[in-house]
Amino acid sequence: MPPQPNAQQNPVNEPVPQPVEEVKSEAEKEPEPQPEPQPEPEPQPIEKETEPEPVAETNPESEAPFIPQPESTAKKNNVDIDQYMNAPWAVHNRGNSRVADVKPIDIPTNSTGTSDRTNGFSVSNTALHQETPVSAEPVIQTPAENHEPIHKVDLSSLNIKPSDEPISKPSMEKPSMETMPVVEIPIPQPETNVAPAEEPTAENIVVNIPEPSVPETSSTSEVFTKEDANKFTLNHIQIPEGVIRIDDEAFKDNQKIEAVALPKSLKEIGDSAFEGCIKLITINIPDGVTEIGKCAFKGCSSITSIKLPDSITRINAECFGSCEKLKDFKIPSSIQHISRHAFMNCASIVDIEIPDGIHGLAENIFSGCKSLQTIKVPESVSQIHKNCFSWCESLTTINLPEAVTEIAPGSFTGCEKLKTLDIPSRITKIGYGAFSKCSGLKSLTLPDTITEIEENAFLGCRSLVVYCSQDNAYIKRYCRLNRVRCKSIT
């Protein structure tokens, strides 16, 4: 190591000449000054200086000389690097001719961009000489018992006076018999004149056996009401004898009953009496019944057969409508009138024979009977109302009596399998869509008595050929306008 410079012999700004070899050794070893220890410096980042600032002149008598130290020792003692770099003995401040050959010290920078001379922080002289004032007076903590309560309560307003009597503990000793109160309970004396009770014998014992619960009818025992029907819980029902009439809607929408036995005394079945009984399969109608109300068996989709007695003279509206599985059915000869929708949507009926004596067929009587193949109409029928046989998709054979004078609108709409039909000689009018969508209809012979054919009477009949007399200009003109093939009878 070279001798340390003296502050009195060498001024601050005067460079000290040294050999070149010593300069190199000083640059390689990089000595650092050792400042006086300062109390607890606070690190403060400063900007990197581009040019070294000149060190102010100091009084050698008032301030001790600056002793250089190695860099490692300076870092440990938190020495101001700026003061160290501006020292007169620093390599870059020496006035010699080979200063350019000396490499500058590479000072790394940290992640924050500041110079990393003291482990990431640059400490100035001002910060090193700052002292944190420390109070010499100790902090006296007030005990918790001396703290004032948050909520003060004035107990003087409660008028509470301390009692001079000592607090006594409850006694655990059992009370003695002498201290317990005596309660006198009167004992009733038995009567002397009362006869002793007889011992029970087998003859004196009476056993009440409940009678079997049977649904009771109304007070008159002649009308079976809906309240009476609700008392039955089984799916097989037998209505008791003596009932003359089943009230309206007595069993409507009953989802349990499967079989019903009607009494012989029954005379009338009310409106919608069994409507919507979808599980009803069999029912017997006695011979004495004279009237069945409208919608009486409507929607009984599981019933397969019904036998009507000869005492019935009328089938009311929608009486058997939507009985989809009804197949075995025969209209008795005593029937004189069939109302509208009587057998509508009975999809399982195959053939129907209308009894003689009926004069008219109401609208939609057999509409929607998809399985109906044959219908026999008596000569007594003179009127067929609209949609009477519409959508009978399986219908192949039907006869129209000579008394019929008009084919109502939609009478045979949708009868796809109907191939031919004999039109009576007295027909004067064919209604709207009477034979529409009869795709299987191949021929019709129209008499000269026809004076009116409404629109769409033969709509969709692509295979149809209409035959008429050679002189019937009205039919030929209608066929020409509606694109229906027409031929003259020779």
DSSP string, 163-227: --SPPPPPP-SPPPTTTSPP---PPPPPPSSSPPPPPP-TTT----PPPP------TTSSEE-HH
Span 230-240, average pLDDT: 90
Rounded CA-CA distance 113/486 in Å is 108
Q: How many CA atoms lie within 13 A of 196 on its CB side?
A: 3
Encoding tokens for residue 72?
Answer: 């490692």
- Residue 48: pLDDT over 60: no
In 10 A of CB 222, how many CB atoms? 13
Q: Are 121 and 43 in contact (CB under 8 A)?
A: yes
Span 89-94, average pLDDT: 50
Q: Could you tell me the pTM of the whole model? A: 0.56
- Residue 476: pLDDT over 90: yes
Of residues 278 and 207, more confidence is placed in 278
Strand partners, 329: 306
What pLDDT score was predicted for residue 473?
94
Reported as a single tens digit per residue, the pLDDT across 10-32 is 444 444 444 444 444 444 444 45
**Per-residue confidence band for 485, with pLDDT thresholds at 50, 70 and 90:** very high
**Per-residue confidence band for 490, with pLDDT thresholds at 50, 70 and 90:** confident
- Residue 398: pLDDT over 50: yes
**Per-residue confidence band for 232, with pLDDT thresholds at 50, 70 and 90:** confident
**Per-residue confidence band for 234, with pLDDT thresholds at 50, 70 and 90:** confident
Span 123-144, average pLDDT: 49
**Topology annotation, domain 222-349:** 3.80.10
Rounded CA-CA distance 414/435 in Å is 8
Encoding tokens for residue 77?
Answer: 């003692």
What pLDDT score was predicted for residue 56?
47
Among 210-224, 283-297, 353-367, 376-390, which stretch is predicted with the lowest mean pLDDT? Answer: 210-224
Above pLDDT 90, what percent of the chain?
53
**Per-residue confidence band for 233, with pLDDT thresholds at 50, 70 and 90:** confident
**Topology annotation, domain 350-490:** 3.80.10
What pLDDT score was predicted for residue 346?
96
Span 67-92, average pLDDT: 54
Mean pLDDT for all residues in the chain: 74
What pLDDT score was predicted for residue 211?
39
**Per-residue confidence band for 182, with pLDDT thresholds at 50, 70 and 90:** low
Q: What are phi and psi of 380, to 5 degrees?
A: -75, -15
Reported as a single tens digit per residue, the pLDDT across 401-448 is 999 999 999 999 999 999 989 999 999 999 999 999 999 999 999 999
Of residues 71 and 344, more confidence is placed in 344
Q: Residue 326: which of 363, 290, 283 has the closest Cα? A: 283
What pLDDT score was predicted for residue 178?
55
Q: Are 308 and 331 in contact (CB under 8 A)?
A: yes
- Residue 348: pLDDT over 50: yes
In 10 A of CB 289, how many CB atoms? 18
Encoding tokens for residue 465?
Answer: 């050929």
Reported as a single tens digit per residue, the pLDDT across 238-293 is 999 999 999 999 999 999 999 999 999 999 999 999 999 999 998 999 999 999 99
- Residue 197: pLDDT over 70: no
Domain with CATH 3.80.10.10 in the chain: 222-349, 350-490
What pLDDT score was predicted for residue 131?
52
Encoding tokens for residue 245?
Answer: 């009439």
Of residues 7 and 296, more confidence is placed in 296
Span 454-479, average pLDDT: 95
What pLDDT score was predicted for residue 44?
53
